[in-house]
Every structure is written in structure tokens, then in C-alpha cells.
Chain A
Amino acid sequence: MYSILLSLAMLVPLLTGILMGLLKNAHSRNILFVEALAATLVFALAAAWVGSGLSAVVDMGLFAFRFGADTVGHLFAILFALLFLCAGVFSLEYNLHDRKQGRFNACFLLTLFAVMGLSYSQNLFTFYFCYECMTLLSMPLVFHEGTDESMKAALTYLGYSLFGAALVLFGFFYTGRFCETTNFVEGGSFNAEGMAHLPLALAAIFCLLLGFACKAGMVPLHQWLPVAHPVAPAPASAILSACITKAGVLGILRTVYYVVGAEALRGTWVQTAMTALALTTVFVGSMLAYKERLLKRRLAWSTVSQVSYVLYGLFQLSPTGFVGGIQQAVFHAVSKTALFLCAGAIIHQTHRTMVHELTGLGKRMPLVFGCFTFASLSLVGIPPFAGFVSKWGLATGGLQVYGSAGALGAAVLLVSAILTAGYLFPITIHGCTEDGDFSRPLEPGWKMLLPLLLLALALLVLGIFTAPLSHLAQQIAVISQEVVPS
């Protein structure tokens, strides 16, 4: 039963995605599209309910495709399916008059297939395969508009992704030698040969992590994010920002805790370098977001910054940081989807893209701006919204692990939080207070509003009832590090 549910959660988006190209009737196509997204979510939830463990192995000789789910896999799969459903429903209205809606739906579903595959991968080979699939299948979402600018952005995205994948492949190759197995096992399997060739092994692991960090938008491989996000249609930007970057995070999580093992990396230069890069990214991303005036690009820079919070947590290699990182990954995914969808609603209703053009719009589309404010509050980390607990965990974890250097980390997080407030709140404030033309309401239809309201509600619930998620994250931390949390 469990295996069937897990396969369905991957096969449904794959098959319906292929089918999208064949259906000519827009109405029936859209119904099937939403049904497929909802079904994927239901199957993912049901699979998590029924059980976990290895479900399918396809032997390819030298390698094997291994699918299965553990707590991490279930968590990410449900998160991805949920966000795809929200963005998918939103896209129905957003893309209503688009001739190429069929192509968009097809690529959207196929990308969902790739990220579900990533969540359910149980070894590096399968993960690498799904990762490459995700790059190639999500690319048409970036150049969907068909302009020269969007094609250039898509090629930039492709170039960075391929470069990242090449780094991953190099690291993958060596971890195959320096680990007992490249299957995902809790605590990793770094072996004696790795210890014997420690400098080479660490360099290879660094390449592997840097390659995944490219998708997560970490400096110095972050450049594709601010280029690709603004040109894609808003639902696609939301997915790129919330899910594709999390695929990079998932890759790092799997590598550090399930392939190499936290023990092998603790105290090495790899940990130091990755932590330093993550903190740099947190700061640089926020600064550039603060300076940016195009709304969607501002949000893209914000993603650069916020995803590196997660990486900062993961590279602390301690349970506290890990729990903070997982929470931040979930919160950021939800709130960034909400923010991009709000931006999409604004663009769709008013065709305004610059931040300074939004003055007074809040009174004409109160629900959209309400959701935007909810998501902003959460992203900044103001209690009782969701972002607070995660950032608290990240800062305290850093202090525990790094001592005085952790104080620097906490300071960076704080400065970045202030900058986040500085680049998000003025949008709400100007939108709501300054004078404007209030004559005509501009609120979008229910297909756009419903996902927004749902996401805002989720943020509030997650912020108030933090216990379930943090309990779940604790569980993963214990399993993956075999360290009893304090």
C-alpha cells in the first residue's frame, strides 16, 4: 500500500504532465491540472500516514534507482505538493489569457514530478538524476513569456545549474569512493579510505556541497536567482523561489547528514568555509534586496538571503541549528510563495512592477496586501508569526557551536532581519497609508485569493503552534545525528 501511494505521488504528476500536451480543450485541461496537483498532495499525505522506508529499487547494474521516504522525505514532499497546489490554482487565473497555458501546465506538473522524486530519492544517483530532470523541466517555466530577455535569463539559469551539477558530479564521484555507500543512511558512512585521503575527500565534499548550494542561491553561485525570477510568470517564480531552492537545501541536508555524516565534517575547513559563505550570503542578499526597486527582483534577492539562513543552520552540525534550519526552510517556502503570489496578483491586476508604483494600492486590494503583510511579518520573524522561532533557533545554535564567532553570526542575522523589515514593510506602509485613487476595487478573483489566504493562514498557524513542526525537526535531528538534544 505504502509503495503504491509513493509511486502514485510521483507518477500522477509525470503522466498528467505528459497528457497536458495532448489535451486541446482548455477547460478540461485545467480541471485535470488541479485534480492532478490535489491528488499528488493527497497521495503524499497518505504515504506519510501509512509508513516509511524503502519502496522501490530499480537496478541499473553499476547504479540503482532507489525510492523511498523517511521523515525528511515526507516533510519535503508534502511541502512541495502543497505549494505546487497553491501556485497551480493561482496560475489558472494568472495565465487565463495565455495561449501557451498548456505548455505551462505541462512543465509545472513535470517539475512537480522532479521535486517529488527528489524528496523520495534514497541514494545520490537517484537524487542526481531527479536534480538534472528538475533543471531541464523547470527551464521552460523561466522562458515562458518568450521574450529575448526571458530566453537569456533561462540560459543563465541553465548555465549556473549545469555548473552546479558538474560540481555535484565531481563530488558524487569521490564520495562513491570515500563513503561505504552512496545510499542515504542516517549518520552517513564516511570510511577509512576517506580518512586516509582526507584533503582530497574534503575538497570533493566541498564541491558537492557548493554544487547543491548553487540551486540554493548561495554566494558565489547566486547570480541566476535575480535574473530568472523576475522574468518568469509569478506562479513559476513562486515555485522557483520556494521549491527549487529548497531542492538545493535538501541536497545539502542529504549530503551532510545522510551520505558523509556530520561527524566527518565537524571542525573541518569545509564547515568553516560553508558557514562563512552562508553568512555572507545572508547579509549580501538582504542588502541588495533593500537596494532593489523592481518588486519581484527584490523578492528574489530576499530569497538569496533567506535560504542561506537555512544553510547556516545546517552547517552548524548541531541539533539546535538543524531544527532551526528545518523550520526556516518550511517557513520561508510558505511565506515566499505567498509573497510572490501577491506580487503576481498585483502585476496581473495593475501591470505595475516597480516598488514605488504600488503607492495607495493597498486600499484597492486589501486582501492581497493583507496577505503580503502577513508573509512579510513572518519573513522578518516577528512573533507570533512563524519566522521567529526558526531564527531564534539559528542564533542560539550558532552561539552554542561557535562561541564568540557565533555572536558574529547572530549579529548578521539580526542586521539582516532589520534589513528585511526595511525592504518589506515600506511596501505595505506606502500601499496603505498614502493617498491614491481608491475609486475602484482591484481585488483579484477567488482562484488567486484562495491560495493567498490559505498560505497566510498556514503562516499564522505554524507560528502559533510551533510544537508539532519543531518536534518533527527534533526527531529528524536525533535520527540523523544520533545526538540527544539538550
Chain B
Amino acid sequence: MSPVLILAAILLPLLGGAFMLAVPLHKRTVRESWVMSVTLCTSALVLLLTAFAPAAGLTLGSIYPGLTFAFRVDGLSRVFLGIVGVLWPIAILYSFEYMSHEHGESRFFAFFTMTYGVVVGIATAGNTFSLYFCYELLTLCTLPLVMHEMDGKARHAGRTYILYSMTGAALAFAAMVFLYHYGTLDFRFGGGLDAALTQGHEDLLRGVFLLGFFGFGVKAAVWPAHVWLPTASVAPTPVSALLHAVAVVNAGVFAILRITYYNFGTGLLRGSFAQWVMMGFCCFTIVFGSAMSWRMQHLKRRLAYSTVSNLSYILLGASVMSEAGLSAALLHMSAHSVFKIILFFCAGAVLCQSGREYVFELPGLGRRMPLTFAAFTVASLGLIGIPPFAGFFSKWAIAEAAVSLDHPLGIVGCAALIVSAFLTGLYQVMVIVPAFFPTKGQSSEVRANEAYTEAGWRMKTAFVLLILLSLAVSFAVTPLAGALSACVG
């Protein structure tokens, strides 16, 4: 298989999106078929790359000795590519219906499509420099999407987003400079530092790793850099769903996985203060995110805080610095992506059909939108981790990995997972139960309003596909976990 396909998968959506900026497609049918065909072609390429990863990489040239644009597909790339390749077309299908209620569709789909290319670039980046480049590009590409509404709230969210992202990128840049100086930027499992140069500077490098962790941790919403994520929930729902639950935040997690396992290497970090700091912040973010989520009455913000918490589950798995930890992290990354995108889509469908966005406005709505809330229920059970849903197994694997450290923080990590699972149960079920079973006072108003109906066929199709996908992930969790551990290393 030719490595040129990687370039094709990156450039196709980038150029396809840019074309829409240059030549606005005003006619809806034309625009939708254009976007859909570009996305489907890209997904086909991406899934091909996932299935048959080309052994060779692709080097596009360098701007300075050691700073090259290089792309290749390895195990970790395949996991990320698989996730976005499957979810992106479904999200596009959903967006067509959702965005027909909004303005500026042409611009929206242009940037949305371009983002796909950038995310593929992040997934396939062969060294830290390429990763960093795509990472910055991702910030710029998604900014117009966050600010789409262009009202005060959206501009504020955009400002917050750019401020946090740029600060994070600056920290990550500093870490990259040290990496360049003490070894290579190429990704090598086990670390790319030069042993001779590192000698005597271990603690310095561990500190630098933490800089990188917090830098890339901005997109992964590690406390205290999580603030932008709930604020960004003013963006149109497809953005919240695909970008702020799957692609962008997972890009942050992915970058941390890269620098931990492929740049600095677990040998340097295992058992050091850097590992304990990383674990500590992850544990705190897990509980903090869930607790905030429980407090939030705005449904999309509640889900956003839930994402904050769940991203740190993944990072907690990664912070164990073992292959078991990494594969547990990847399992939760896959499971969480599927469940969270469903939850956001449901919130969006409710917003579209009834204009309701607060949790206390939802009682009784489950009767009028049964499919939407059925999807919400399935995804919630998965997220809470009720067996036999995949969430149970992925959290179990993370806890197993954390405890195998035989360190007090491992027990703290396990306890944080449990506390967070309890809170997740509370904040999700408190949405579902009143939606299906309103009390006497609440039910009459919703029941009387005939305008509240199920969404159109495109949203419904997206829901059905995603429910099937989440059931598939849950019941095929053993082969999935096996495949993911094969991707590690």
C-alpha cells in the first residue's frame, strides 16, 4: 500500500473545504452532496489506512535539519484514525439536518471539512514537529466553528478557546525544543531521547515532560486548563459533539500519549515525580469534572464537564506508563468517543426540536422523542459503566492498570474512578428518569405541545447507526481490546 494515500487523506478534505471558501456553494443540495462525497472519500481512505497500514512513511521535506514534515501510520495512529473515520460521516449526516436550522452553513461546512484533514494529519504525524504543526492548525481551523454564532457569548468562547490553546501550544513548544536538543523528534515507542545527552539531566527532562503534559493537556482539558471546554459548548451541537467530545479533545490526549510513550519514554518517567504529578492531576480532574457535571443544569455544559472527567480517565490509564495502561486508555478513548457523541447529538436534537437546553426543562420529553431518549439512555448506561456495556470494561482495565503500580496513588486513582462512576450515574439518570417519567405537575405542558416531535430522518439514521455502533463496541469488547493491545508498541 502506497504511503501517498496518507497525503491524499489529509489534502482531500483540506482542499475540499478550502474550495467551498473560495467558491461558496449556495444551493443546499449541491453543497450537501459535495461535503458528503468529500467526507465519504476521506473516510474510505482513512479506513483503508487503518486496515492496511502502509509500512513505509512519507517525508515531505524539512525546513531545518531535524525538523521534517513526516507522516506515517503506526498502531496508535490506527486507533485514532479508526475512531474519526467511522464517526465523521455519521456526524456530517447529523449536521446537515441540524445546520438547516442555523445560518452560515457554507462557511460552517467548509471549516468542518478542513478540520477532518487536520485531524488525520495529527493522527498520522510521524514526529513531534509535524504533530505540533497540525495541532496549531487545528486550533485555527476550529476557531471559526466555535465562534459560529458570532454573538457575544460565542465571541467570548472563541477568545477563551484561543487564549487557552495558544498558552498550551507555547508550553508544548518549549517541551519540543528540549526534545530536539536531547534527542530526536521522531516517534519511537519507548522514547527518542539520546542516552548520552540525557545523562545527568533526567530531572530537568522530567520537568520538561510536565510542561509538555500541561501544554497538550489544554486540549485534553486537564484541570486547571479545562475552562475553555464547557465555555465552548455555545458552539453548534455538531461541533460540540464531534470536535469537543471526539476529535479535538482526543487530539490533545493523543499528543500526550505520543510525548509520553514515543518521545520521553516510559523508562525515564516511570516511578519519578513526573508520573505522580501527572496521576495526581488526572485523579483530581476525574472527580472535579464529574462533580461539576452534576452541578450543571445546562445539558450541553453538563456533558462538557463529563467529557473533562472522562478524558482524564484516559490520561490516568496512560499515566501508568505501562503497555497495559496504554491499551486500557485506548479502549476507553474508543468507548467514550462513541457514547459521548451520542449524548451530544441527543442534546442537539432536543435543542432543535423544542428549544430546551436546561435539564429541568426536559421532564416528559422522552415520551415525545422516544428514539432520541432511547439513544441517550443507551449511551448513558455505557458511560456510567453498567455491565455489559463497554464503559465497564474500559474503566475496569484502567483501574486494574493503576492498581498494578502498587503505589498509594494507584489506590487513589481507583477510588477516583469509583467516585466518578457514582457521580456519572447520578447526573445521567437524573436526566433520563424525569424525561420518561414526568411527575403530575410537569407532564401536562410537554404533552400538550404537539410541536415537540422526533427529529427528521437524517438525525434518526445517525441515532440508529450510533446505537448499533455502541452495542457492537460493547458486545465485541474482547476482540476490540485485543486489537487495541496489538496496536500498542
Chain A positions within 8 Å of B, measured between CB atoms, are: 60-63, 125, 128-129, 132, 136, 139-140, 143, 146-148, 150-151, 154-155, 158-159, 162-163, 165-167, 169-170, 173-174, 177, 200
Q: Could you list 17 further interchain pairs (A-B, Cβ under 8 angstroms) beyond the known A62-B478, A146-B443?
A: A61-B481, A62-B397, A63-B387, A63-B393, A128-B387, A132-B386, A132-B387, A136-B429, A143-B437, A143-B439, A147-B439, A148-B439, A150-B439, A151-B433, A166-B422, A170-B414, A173-B396
Question: Which residue of the partner chain, among B418, B421, B426, B437, contacts A146 with CB atoms under 8 Å?
Answer: B437
Known A-B contacts A62-B393, A159-B426; the reply to A173 vs B437 at CB < 8 A is no
Complex: chain B residue closest to A150, CB-CB: B439
B414 and A162 contacting across the interface, CB-CB below 8 Å: no
Complex: chain A residue closest to B477, CB-CB: A61
A170 and B418 contacting across the interface, CB-CB below 8 Å: yes
Contacts of B433 in A (CB 8 A): 139, 143, 151, 154-155, 158
Question: Which residue of the partner chain, among A136, A140, A162, contacts B426 with CB atoms under 8 Å?
Answer: A162
Contacts of B400 in A (CB 8 A): 173
Contacts of A140 in B (CB 8 A): 437
B419 and A146 contacting across the interface, CB-CB below 8 Å: no
Complex: chain A residue closest to B386, CB-CB: A132
Main secondary structure of the interface of B (DSSP, over half): helix
**B425 on interface, CB distance cutoff 8 Å:** yes
Q: List 13 interface pairs A-B (beta carbons < 8 Å), by A numbering.
A: A128-B387, A146-B438, A146-B439, A148-B439, A148-B440, A154-B433, A155-B430, A158-B433, A166-B419, A166-B425, A169-B421, A173-B403, A200-B411
Complex: chain B residue closest to A58, CB-CB: B388
Known A-B contacts A139-B433, A148-B439, A173-B396; the reply to A162 vs B387 at CB < 8 A is no
B414 and A125 contacting across the interface, CB-CB below 8 Å: no
Contacts of A200 in B (CB 8 A): 411
> In the complex, A30 Cα to B426 Cα: how many Å?
34
> In the complex, A151 Cα to B364 Cα: how many Å?
13
Known A-B contacts A148-B439, A151-B439, A163-B422; the reply to A60 vs B388 at CB < 8 A is yes
Contacts of B140 in A (CB 8 A): none
Contacts of B437 in A (CB 8 A): 140, 143, 146, 151
Complex: chain B residue closest to A65, CB-CB: B388
Contacts of B386 in A (CB 8 A): 129, 132, 136
> In the complex, A249 Cα to B421 Cα: how many Å?
24
> In the complex, A150 Cα to B414 Cα: how many Å?
34
Question: Which residue of the partner chain, among A154, A163, A173, contacts B399 with CB atoms under 8 Å?
Answer: A173
**B434 on interface, CB distance cutoff 8 Å:** yes
Output the residue of A143, A146, A148, A154 with the most chain B CB within 10 A.
Answer: A146
Shortest Cβ distance from A307 into chain B, in angstroms?
23
Complex: chain B residue closest to A177, CB-CB: B403
Shortest Cβ distance from B247 into chain A, in angstroms?
29
Complex: chain B residue closest to A149, CB-CB: B439
Q: Mark B418-453, 1 if CB is under 8 A from A, else 0.
A: 110110011001100110011111010000000000
Shortest Cβ distance from A82 into chain B, in angstroms?
29
> In the complex, A213 Cα to B438 Cα: how many Å?
30
Contacts of A174 in B (CB 8 A): 403
Contacts of A61 in B (CB 8 A): 393, 477-478, 481
Q: Mark B366-398, 1 if CB is under 8 A from A, else 0.
A: 000000000000000000001110000100110
Question: Which residue of the partner chain, among B399, B411, B478, contacts A60 with CB atoms under 8 Å?
Answer: B478
Known A-B contacts A60-B388, A61-B481; the reply to A147 vs B440 at CB < 8 A is yes
Known A-B contacts A146-B440, A166-B421; the reply to A173 vs B478 at CB < 8 A is no
Complex: chain B residue closest to A125, CB-CB: B387
> In the complex, A221 Cα to B437 Cα: how many Å?
26
Question: Which residue of the partner chain, among A125, A148, A158, contacts B429 with CB atoms under 8 Å?
Answer: A158
Contacts of A177 in B (CB 8 A): 403
A151 and B434 contacting across the interface, CB-CB below 8 Å: yes
> In the complex, A281 Cα to B151 Cα: how many Å?
58
> In the complex, A136 Cα to B430 Cα: how many Å?
12
> In the complex, A147 Cα to B442 Cα: how many Å?
10
Contacts of B422 in A (CB 8 A): 162-163, 165-166
Complex: chain B residue closest to A167, CB-CB: B418
Cβ < 8 Å to A, chain B residues 337-371: none
> In the complex, A177 Cα to B421 Cα: how many Å?
20
Shortest Cβ distance from A158 into chain B, in angstroms?
6
> In the complex, A78 Cα to B402 Cα: how many Å?
42
Output the residue of B397, B403, B437, B477 with the most chain A CB within 10 A.
Answer: B437
**B56 on interface, CB distance cutoff 8 Å:** no
Contacts of A132 in B (CB 8 A): 386-387
**B177 on interface, CB distance cutoff 8 Å:** no
